[in-house]
Structure 1
Amino acid sequence: MTERFADLPETRRRGLTKMEEVYGFTMSDGEGDFFGYTADHLFADIWTRPGLSDRDRRLLLIGLLAGTGAHDVMGIQVPAALQAGDLDAEALREIVIFLSHYAGWPVGARLNSLVEETIAKQR
């Protein structure tokens, strides 16, 4: 458990801790119902369920983000996946090729730029 979250309810602690693992950056507690559902349900409950690894979840999420054009969130998930070791440079490049054929070439080109920038920054 992260000491910064010691005064929060157990579900919120779990959620914020998982958010830090998934996103790769420091989280703090947030305001409002939307943040609460995100931390307490999506990250404390859904991201921690058995049956899928974080890598599996990343693959599904990146595919969905590419298919819906959610490039802003993809800009968070791709670097976080590389940083966490869920996906390496080879896997990310293969995802670009695969998704280009299903989500469209412009989506693939945009994802390719993000992947190559992410890999270059890691070096």
Structure 2
Amino acid sequence: MEQVYGFEMTDGTGDFFAYTADHLFADIWNRPGLTDRDRRLLLIGLLAGSHQHDVLTIQIPAAYAAGELDEQQLREIVILLCHYAGWPSGSRVNQIVEETIAKAAKAAKAAEAAASSG
């Protein structure tokens, strides 16, 4: 689960979380036949088409941080989704993409500044 999302998953307790994490991430995301990138693309399209933008705020940054999708590819996804999922949904995906890119750029600048001052 941490590999897919790119951050430490410490907020889950109980059987529901354990069964979900074990089944979805140990079994489904590790099946042969599709790469993590393939799964992520399918999931982003599904989430955008069903207006589940809250989950996209997890999936898009995770795909970007994992190197599965770069800035240009994310922006191309937005253009495609606007025409297939509808403009309002595509616009929200665009907002998530641009926030993801800006946040990563800001973190990279801060890391550069810290490295050059230390």
Q: Does 1:21 align with 2:10?
A: no
Partner in structure 1 of residue 101 of structure 2:
119
How many residues are aligned here? 105
Q: CA deviation at 1:38?
A: 1.4
Shift of 1:121: 1.0
Change (3 A) 1:29 1:106: closer
Deviation at 1:36, TM superposition (A): 2.0
2:31 to 32, 36, 49: 49
Mapped to 2, the partners of 1:44 and 1:91 lie a distance apart of 27
Deviation string, structure 1 residues 26-84 (Cα, Å, up to 9, x no partner): 12373233212211110000000000000000000000000111111000000010000
**Which ranges in structure 2 are unaligned for 5 or more consecutive residues?**
106-118
Give structure 1 regions of 4+ aligned residues with deviation exceeding 3 angstroms: none
- Aligned with residue 103 of structure 1, among 80, 85, 93: 85
In the alignment, which residue of structure 2 is the partner of 1:93?
A: 75
Match for residue 13 of structure 2 among 9, 18, 31: 31
Matched, 1:71 2:64: no
Q: Which amino acid aligns with 1:88?
A: D
Match of 1:61 in 2: 43
- Structure 1: 5+ residue runs without aligned partners? 1-18
Q: TM-score, normalised by structure 1?
A: 0.81
How much has 1:22 moved relative to structure 2?
Answer: 0.9
Partner of 1:80: 62
Alpha-carbon offset, residue 117 of structure 1: 0.9
Aligned-residue sequence identity (percent) comes to: 73
RMSD: 1.2
